[in-house]
Structure 1
Amino acid sequence: MSTNVDFLVLGSGIAGLSYALKVCKFGKVALITKKSDTESNTNHAQGGIASVTSLDDSFGLHIQDTLVAGAGLCKEDAVEVLVKEGPGHVRELIELGVRFSKERLPNGEERFALGREGGHSRRRILHADDLTGKEIERALVVQAKREENIRLFEHDFAVDLITTRRPNGELVCCGAYVLDTETEEVTAFRAKVTMLATGGCGRVYLHTTNPVIATGDGVAMAYRAGAEIENMEFIQFHPTCLYHPEARSFLISEAVRGEGGILRLANGSTFMENYHKMNCLAPRDIVARAIDAELKKSGAECVYLDVTHLDAERVKSRFPNIYGKCLSVGIDITKELIPIVPAAHYSCGGVRTNLMAESSIKRLYACGEVACTGVHGANRLASNSLLEALVFAHRAAKDAERHISGWACDSLVDYDKSSHVNIVNRKTVTSLADRVHQLMWRYVGIVRTNERLETAETELADIAKDVENLYKAGCLSAELIELRNIVTVAGLIIGSALSRKESRGLNYNLDYPQPDDTNCKRDTVLIKT
């Protein structure tokens, strides 16, 4: 079974929706989403979106903050594009109906309430209380549902990309095979342009702030199709994930520290002054490693974030979602310390793209966390991710217009399901996934060594063989597709980390504790051979 569309968009977060809303003006769009229309990493983004809007800020300062956080690997042209084009796209969000929080000045005037997060030298974070992602997603979904040219396919899973090779050797994307989880049918979507906006890969790890859908699908599919994959060793661990059995994966936004929250040990003492001049507002990689070091020194299970010294009403009004969630598990953050641990949060690497968001495969674009635009380098500056998705979705849409006049291939072959006949035990899939989660957390976490990485590589190779055999003969399901993708992405992270013989940004290796600008100040690029 096959269907033809002008634009195929895989993913329904800020990147996919923004792109779809722009390209639907000149073609039919199929928007594929694994879950419901609003389930995405965007929907879980609490902190906000960084953009130069105040008089005491400047493009130069935002660029410099981004470059410093990126530890020498940011692509400066991409950072300049992000910062200078960002404010215009933020204004577009406001015009679409996004309701960013405002504050009233003494003279009665209103202005946007700008927050500050780690690594930022100025207040420049626009936010909607502490549910910014949810508010942006709401506005974009409302707009997308008004567009006749956008058709939403919910609970559908992309299985693999479809490519063809031109006589000149150029690899071109023609669309993707997509599984309907209700009918169990696989449809070949032929598209003039395909956009990967599938989000991140946090679910490769045991502890993560990401939703269950963040299984690295776009990176895995692109790699299998022959795309260049860049800098996958740089996995950002958010320093402050709530440590409570009833609230796994709940993020305590960096904005809490931006408003004056203080990190403390169990005995009440502070420690960040021993690690960085910005103390609790240091970049995320520094804070996560500091917490990891303190936990290993003390043997404690968590450290604490303290906001009890701040005005209680201000805390409740600024962070209503965080206050409510903590209260639901018995923690009144205006009176008690918040137990926190680091957790896998964001992938700074991904599908390698150019400044127009096109991958190394023609007609295949990537935007948002699935992409590696070069903006984040070795460590992402807080709240730059939503801005990146907006800016590069616009650029991709603008560039994709040139492909609208013709197809990359004349027709598509139906997906061959003939070998997928065996019933797969769900417990087997869960057990294999758990093994991946455990080994990635144990050996490929915040602090790495060559021995740990090599152990992970060996163990993953055994798991990968079992998974591939299971996939080849098993009936297709959402869980099986995700397991295959998790294993692929885990291998890319390990392989990238092994190839980097230095510590830089988010890749900290005890065997190479210092950066090596002479030999290693370069991007890691992997391609399937």
Structure 2
Amino acid sequence: MLNFDVAIVGSGLAGLSTAIKLADDKKIAIISKRTLSESSSQWAQGGIAASVSSVDSTEAHVNDTIVAGAGLCDESVTKFVTANSASALNWLTKMGVNFTKQANTSELHLTKEGGHSHRRIAHVADTTGSAIQSALIEKVNNHPNITIFEDHIAVDLITNKKLKIIKTEKNICLGLYVLENTSGKVVTIQADVTVLATGGASKVYLYTTNPDVSTGDGISMAWRSGCRVANMEFVQFHPTCLYHPHEKSFLISEVLRGEGGILKLPNNKPFMHLYDIRGDLAPRDVVARAIDFEMKKRGIECVYLDISHKSKKFIMEHFPMIYERCLSLNIDISKDPIPVVPAAHYSCGGVMTDFNAQTDVDNLYAVGEAAYTGLHGANRLASNSLLECLVFSDAAVSHIVAKHKAHREILPRWDASRVTDADEEVLITHTWNELRRFMWNYVGIVRTNKRLSRAMHRIDMLRDEVNEFYTNFKISNNLIELRNLLQVAELIVKSAISRKESRGLHFSKDFPETSNKKYITILEPANFVGAIEKKHTIKKEKSTSIG
């Protein structure tokens, strides 16, 4: 058994920033499914929303967030996050992130994205995520108190309720089991505190902008351990994923539309003005539904995003990575429009947390896309996600340092004495493909009761098959991910079925109107009723501002 003060599952911005902020005082483990650089944060092109311009304000940022969130954002959380945006940027600057500046000045170059009323997106050209990850990875690699477990996947959390130890009504996280992918060994990690920074679950869909590691691991593990989840029906589909047979998930940043890009039909006619007064700069849910409608109405495979009316110099200065990637596929964006389609992009729901990033289980925190904080409501405003990671990582750190003491329970080893080698791994591949395809067809951008019912029926059947496989055979990375994806799919579908309206990212043809009643969708694990708080909101204690 390995012992740490804090075990952090995930190596994106949420995980790495939490580790760096804790490392001077705590012994840290970072568990990364592949390398540290493989995360959704690494792929982020746009930037970080921060109301730092003299013509902008926190109030405007709050209002834009709430409008984009279709009225379901927690206003107190939204104010808390946006008020700390300048401090978040300052911290990253101290870490060595060199944000793009205005020509010949030291002022930040701020760009604009859909749903924003002002230019407030701080960025590093069109590779912001990569620049941030590179800076933070260098820090964690050189810190003596941080141990990195690359190519390891978390299997499940260990709690006192599961082990039936520690006589208390509380449900307490004691650590986790982790599979070393190369050897197949399962390691027991004892930790005083565990932080889930595992990102979202968009790989549950056939088409996604996310990397292969986005399989909802943290959400599923938390749910199995007794945590409530909220708003899982709100899956954001990014409007503009490159449509090309050789590029399955390359994102075309929203900043491209913010800098003048125009969505067009194959006949070269713009169409977004027909759907929203904000045109191409409408929020993502509006744009994604408009594209989906036009594709189905006209029987076309994609639409086009055109920025060729801008100079080549402008394009290469602002979008060097997008330009080069498209050019490698024989698409010169200075001359030609870019073929794009919507793709699953971001999970607005997740594990319920408070202002300190605490979940329903003691000693268990969730930060980043895996968490439901209340910031995003029914639709995430562009570039608020990286900001949320930074603000809530700091909130978690403050609480961990102030509140937690060592428990040092002796935890049992993983028992693999009654399982055998899998006889047909192909079953995992087939089930994975089936799941992602019917989720895309039945639980996508536009939903119906009939489609959701069909999806739930298939999930029930596949769950039994996968549970039998998990019980009888040695676990693998693919099996763990499939098990987690099935759990997340069930949570998404159940949440979608329970919402009898259309709002934000959830559009139902059976309930096309938006209800006057505003509510969040909360699911509570049946096995833990009575073991966790039976109330609809976690008490939100004010957390220390970052800086």
For the superposition of Structure 1 and Structure 2, which TM-score range results when normalised by the shorter chain? over 0.9
Contact 1:72 1:521 in 2 (8 A): no
Residue aligning to 2:541: none
What displacement does 1:310 show?
Answer: 1.0
* Paired amino acid for 1:330: N
Residue aligning to 1:245: 245
SS in 1 for 2:135: helix
Matched ranges for 1:215-226 at <5 A: 215-226=215-226
* Paired amino acid for 1:440: M
- Distance in 2 of aligned mates of 1:419 and 1:61: 59
Residues 259-286 of structure 1: CA distance to partner in whole angstroms, max 9, x if unpaired?
A: 0000000111111111111100000000
What displacement does 1:170 show?
Answer: 1.3
- Distance in 2 of aligned mates of 1:524 and 1:516: 17
- Distance in 1 of aligned mates of 2:75 and 2:16: 27
Contact 1:223 1:528 in 2 (8 A): no
Matched ranges for 1:21-170 at <5 A: 21-104=20-103, 108-165=104-161, 167-170=167-170
Residue aligning to 2:205: 205
Contact 1:27 1:404 in 2 (8 A): no
Instruction: Choose 121-130 or 466-475, whichever is displaced more.
Output: 466-475
SS in 2 for 1:508: coil
Contact 2:153 2:181 in 1 (8 A): yes
Q: For this pair of structures, how many residues does the alignment match?
A: 523
* Paired amino acid for 1:337: P
Residue aligning to 1:308: 308
Residue aligning to 1:283: 283
Instruction: Choose 179-188 or 491-500, whichever is displaced more.
Output: 179-188
- Distance in 2 of aligned mates of 1:312 and 1:522: 46
Contact 1:8 1:30 in 2 (8 A): yes
Instruction: Choose 418-427 or 396-405, whichever is displaced more.
Output: 418-427
Contact 1:193 1:403 in 2 (8 A): no
- Distance in 2 of aligned mates of 1:109 and 1:438: 49
Contact 1:326 1:332 in 2 (8 A): yes
Query: 2:21 aligned with 1:9, yes or no?
Result: no
Matched ranges for 1:73-472 at <5 A: 73-104=72-103, 108-165=104-161, 167-407=167-407, 410-472=409-471
- Distance in 1 of aligned mates of 2:493 and 2:447: 10
Residue aligning to 2:543: none
Residues 118-161 of structure 1: CA distance to partner in whole angstroms, max 9, x if unpaired?
A: 00000000111111000000000111112100000000010000
* Paired amino acid for 2:458: E
Residue aligning to 1:526: 524
- Distance in 2 of aligned mates of 1:109 and 1:3: 50
- Distance in 2 of aligned mates of 1:478 and 1:85: 37
* Paired amino acid for 1:23: L
Residues 84-137 of structure 1: CA distance to partner in whole angstroms, max 9, x if unpaired?
A: 012102101001100111122xxx433211110000000000111111000000
What displacement does 1:206 show?
Answer: 0.1
* Paired amino acid for 1:253: S
Contact 2:5 2:406 in 1 (8 A): no
- Distance in 2 of aligned mates of 1:168 and 1:426: 41
* Paired amino acid for 2:451: R
- Distance in 1 of aligned mates of 2:105 and 2:100: 14
- Distance in 2 of aligned mates of 1:268 and 1:237: 24
Contact 1:73 1:377 in 2 (8 A): yes
Contact 1:424 1:475 in 2 (8 A): no
Task: Sort the Cα spacing of 1:424 and 1:116 in 2 relative to 1 into closer, same or farther, 3 A.
Answer: farther
- Distance in 1 of aligned mates of 2:418 and 2:318: 54
Residues 48-71 of structure 1: CA distance to partner in whole angstroms, max 9, x if unpaired?
A: 110111100100000000010111
SS in 1 for 2:111: coil
SS in 2 for 1:189: strand
What displacement does 1:311 show?
Answer: 1.4
SS in 1 for 2:430: helix
- Distance in 1 of aligned mates of 2:35 and 2:172: 30
Contact 2:126 2:322 in 1 (8 A): yes
Residue aligning to 2:538: none
Contact 1:499 1:524 in 2 (8 A): no
SS in 1 for 2:39: coil
Contact 2:101 2:107 in 1 (8 A): yes
SS in 2 for 1:345: strand
What displacement does 1:522 show?
Answer: 3.0
- Distance in 2 of aligned mates of 1:459 and 1:228: 24
SS in 1 for 2:77: helix
Contact 1:73 1:523 in 2 (8 A): no
What displacement does 1:528 show?
Answer: 4.1
Residue aligning to 1:504: 503
- Distance in 1 of aligned mates of 2:264 and 2:425: 42
* Paired amino acid for 2:201: C
- Distance in 2 of aligned mates of 1:176 and 1:192: 11
What displacement does 1:432 show?
Answer: 0.5
TM-score by length of 1: 0.97
Query: 2:497 aligned with 1:514, yes or no?
Result: no
What displacement does 1:418 show?
Answer: 2.0
- Distance in 1 of aligned mates of 2:344 and 2:449: 20
Question: Cα RMSD between the aligned structures?
Answer: 1.1
SS in 2 for 1:236: strand
- Distance in 2 of aligned mates of 1:294 and 1:331: 23
- Distance in 2 of aligned mates of 1:194 and 1:280: 41
What displacement does 1:420 show?
Answer: 2.9
Unaligned runs of 5+ in 1: none
Contact 2:190 2:409 in 1 (8 A): no
- Distance in 2 of aligned mates of 1:162 and 1:148: 26
Contact 1:349 1:371 in 2 (8 A): yes
TM-score by length of 2: 0.94
Unaligned runs of 5+ in 2: 528-547
Residues 433-469 of structure 1: CA distance to partner in whole angstroms, max 9, x if unpaired?
A: 0000011000000000001000100011111111111
What displacement does 1:33 show?
Answer: 0.3
Identity, % of aligned pairs?
47
Contact 2:208 2:345 in 1 (8 A): yes
- Distance in 2 of aligned mates of 1:526 and 1:268: 49
Task: Sort the Cα spacing of 1:526 and 1:424 in 2 relative to 1 into closer, same or farther, 3 A.
Answer: farther
